[in-house]
């Protein structure tokens, strides 16, 4: 390990960062990119300013949802995407899974799998994997929107989903 000292003048305390030898090339590149116009402490502070609110939001969401948020990546393809592939990436927690049913005329067809995720911003992301037919994504900004558009697919799990996203999902009639 190599020691790197970051010192700020004024009211800031002296902070010492220990950098692993394997990280030295990254620190050297950062120093060159700073080009003398900004100190490494300024770059680290800028990185922390981006990291801290992001991490706080993730932890608040995990506490509210009761599940660990983690990165997810899906390749979207098929007829719904005009034969093109796209990549979907988000940070979220899986809430539920269901079998999708398709209808062709009077007969039911197995339509694949629907997996529902909630993001730290409380968006509900439904990933529908229909095998060779393709993978599609539907994003609902609110629980009410999700229930309206996709609730029937998750009818046996709707109360658990509501609890996970902090929605009461009850009606009061007086």
Q: How far apart are CA 75 and CA 41, in angstroms?
A: 38
Percent of the chain residues topping a pLDDT of 70? 78
How confident is the prediction for the chain on average, in pLDDT? Answer: 78
**Cβ partners under 8 Å of residue 145, min gap 6:** none
Q: Encode pLDDT of 55-110 as tens digits.
A: 887 787 777 777 888 888 988 876 565 667 888 888 888 888 998 876 554 444 45
Selected residue with higher pLDDT from 81 and 120: 120
Give the Cβ contact number of residue 94 at 10 Å: 15
pTM here? 0.61
- Give the domain ranges of the chain: 2-65, 70-164
């Amino acid at each position: 390990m190599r020691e790197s000292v970051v010192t700020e003048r004024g009211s800031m305390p002296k902070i010492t960062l220990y950098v692993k030898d394997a990280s030295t090339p990254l620190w050297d590149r950062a120093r060159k990119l700073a080009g003398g116009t900004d100190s490494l402490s300024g770059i680290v502070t800028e990185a922390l300013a981006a990291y801290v609110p992001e991490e706080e939001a993730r932890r608040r969401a995990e506490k509210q949802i009761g599940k660990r948020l983690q990165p997810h990546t899906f390749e979207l393809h098929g007829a719904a995407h005009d034969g093109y592939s796209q990549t979907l990436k988000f940070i979220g927690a899986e809430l539920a899974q269901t079998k999708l049913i398709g209808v062709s005329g009077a007969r039911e067809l197995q339509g694949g799998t629907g997996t529902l995720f909630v993001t730290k911003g409380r968006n509900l992301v439904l990933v529908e994997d229909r095998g060779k037919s393709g993978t599609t994504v539907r994003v609902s900004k609110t629980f009410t929107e999700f229930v309206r558009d996709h609730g029937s697919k998750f009818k046996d799990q709707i109360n658990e989903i509501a609890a996970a996203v902090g929605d009461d999902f009850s009606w009061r009639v007086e």
